[in-house]
A and B are shown apart, each in its own frame.
Chain A
Amino acid sequence: MCRTDSSEFPMAEIITLREAVAALVRDGDTVAMEGFTHLIPFAAGHEVIRQRRKQLTLVRLTPDVIYDQLIGAGCAKKLIFSWGGNPGVGSLHRLRDAVERDWPAPLEIQEHGHGDLSNAYVSGAANLPFAVIRAYAGSDLPNHNDKIKFIECPFTGETLAAVPAINPDVTIIHAQKADRKGNVLLWGILGVQKEAVLAAKKAIVTVEEIVDDLKAWPNACILPAWTLAAVCCVPGGAFPSYAHGYYERDNRFYQAWDAISREREIFQNWIKTHILNTLDFSEFRRVLAESAAVSVRQ
């Protein structure tokens, strides 16, 4: 159960998601919402749309449906990414409409591969200026992304690719559990969440539940409360992606998204009904269940 009792220890503030986004995400910020297919912070993405944040630079390895929603809703001016599809389904139609036809606004893109972008977070977390990888010789990507450069190893003379560190203004992730001090535990497919949190100036974590004791084993992936700005209890907050140990990926939603996102008007109506006109994520789930029931009856 979610409780927000205070403690005398230094800790992340345990607040509502609405309060966290209102206090910590500003127009024009560079925002990373990470989660590699697993633990995607959908509830937080919705809240950013609901609070009508604008001109964001969005960073994410796999933009997925979460950024398709943010881009289509007009929250983004730039996207830094490495793979932009609807996993298991096909295209992200809102991302494509923005790139191919400037709708609802032109979207600047800065494109990477997973290896370099994930390591750009590592360097951000390590407070180093850039990351080094062995790739891109002969590829066209460096011709279209001036952030991919080639450097010479000072020891061997080998030519290597370098990309600047990523240090988001805000990183937002979803995790399984927090304790009452705001220490966060996550497991399963970890993606780049830990690195993205430690690279950021501020971090918000939504969790499935808040417990008295994390009962974590040594070496577990823990983000100590003092590395986080806010922890918010949002059960189901990764839906339609999944939370290992809690619920499975809703593949039908990912497939349904293809039809919802294909046409601008249908998409806009969906965003209005399900996100802008709902109070929070639990009301979103209720409205979504109702509209699903209607479509089954029809």
Chain B
Amino acid sequence: MTAAQPAYTTNEIMTVAAARLLKNGAVCFVGIGLPSTAANLARLTHAPDIVLIYESGPIGAKPPVLPLSIGDGNLAETADTVVSTPEIFRYWLQGGRVDVGFLGAAQIDRFANINTTVIGDYKRPATRLPGAGGAPEIASCASEVVLLLKQSARAFVKKLDFVTSVGHLDGGDARKRLGLPGKGPVAVVTDLCLMEPDPSSKELTVTHLHPGITREEVTKATGWEIRFAGTLTETPAPTSIELETLRDLERRTKLAHGNVVATST
């Protein structure tokens, strides 16, 4: 029973691989852009009872098309409830009610610490990025964190220009020593592979390669000497249902928002 593999883009397999990590019924704190696309794909495929929380206040959002901003009206209209922003952070995130924080980043290091603040010096930045948003608190308090970003040596760096949100800091039991309540990053999904922290050192280790991707490609797109697991698994290719659902969602989104494309922010 071998059906012809549907063709897909690297962006699509990244989104699909991330969506698969979300369990049905999980309470998921969603960042805008790619994480929001993947979380909604999960909701429309294998996880219909997933609870999506956006930092602007909607809890249990079920947007019919992808929101462009973190506070679009369709999030409020479809939510189980909408609370204030301080309440989202105090009662729901810090209160320990979030299973998974689903975030993007501009830069990441080998211990999955992330930078969304500046490239270059803080006072004289080469590039000023948007900043923290809710990420430091999400990275601290969500039970687990999943990170999504495209892989390149510019993004996967030896040393971050700025640690905005803490992953596993300098590895080992650093989070425990810092008193951070959540487990921190449990997976990093890129357009090439899936990485997971080593159980003891917490250094990111490639455990899955996406179909057709080589170790050399991953090594070249990483700014440090990336480790590979002893046994590498191939990410299952997107199913036709996953691809159709994702493409339909993106088509409807484009139609609803005109020419504006939901970019990562």
Which positions in A face B, CB cutoff 8 Å? 36-38, 61-62, 81-92, 95-96, 99-100, 111-116, 118-119, 121-122, 133-141, 144, 158-159, 188-192, 194-195, 242, 244, 248-249, 251-252, 254-255
Those of B146-186 within 8 Å (CB) of chain A: 162-166, 169, 174, 178-181
Chain B interface size, as a band, is: 35 or more
Please name the residue on chain B nearest to A61 by beta carbon.
Answer: B85
**Cβ-defined partner of B131 (8 Å) among A84, A137, A138:** A84
In the complex, are the beta carbons of B125 and A115 less than 8 A apart?
no
B136 within 8 A of A: yes
In the complex, are the beta carbons of B136 and A139 less than 8 A apart?
yes
User: Shortest 8 CB-CB distances between A and B: which pairs?
Assistant: A37-B71, A88-B68, A87-B69, A85-B130, A115-B137, A115-B89, A138-B166, A83-B133
- Give the CA-CA distance A99 to B133 in the complex, in Å: 18
In the complex, are the beta carbons of A99 and B131 less than 8 A apart?
no
**Cβ-defined partner of A158 (8 Å) among B132, B137, B179, B263:** B179
In the complex, are the beta carbons of A190 and B82 less than 8 A apart?
yes
- Give the CA-CA distance A112 to B86 in the complex, in Å: 14
- Give the CA-CA distance A92 to B136 in the complex, in Å: 21
When distances are taken between beta carbons in the complex, the residues of chain B under 8 Å from A194 are: 84
- How many residue pairs, one in A and one in B, have C-beta atoms under 8 Å apart? 188
Which positions in B face A, CB cutoff 8 Å? 32, 55-58, 68-73, 75-76, 82-86, 89-90, 93-94, 113, 117, 122, 124-128, 130-137, 140-141, 162-166, 169, 174, 178-181, 257-260, 262-263, 265
When distances are taken between beta carbons in the complex, the residues of chain A under 8 Å from B90 are: 115, 119, 122
In the complex, are the beta carbons of B130 and A114 less than 8 A apart?
no
A251/B82 contact (C-beta < 8 A), A139-B136, A188-B76 known: no
In the complex, are the beta carbons of A113 and B69 less than 8 A apart?
no
A81/B131 contact (C-beta < 8 A), A99-B125, A115-B137, A251-B257 known: yes
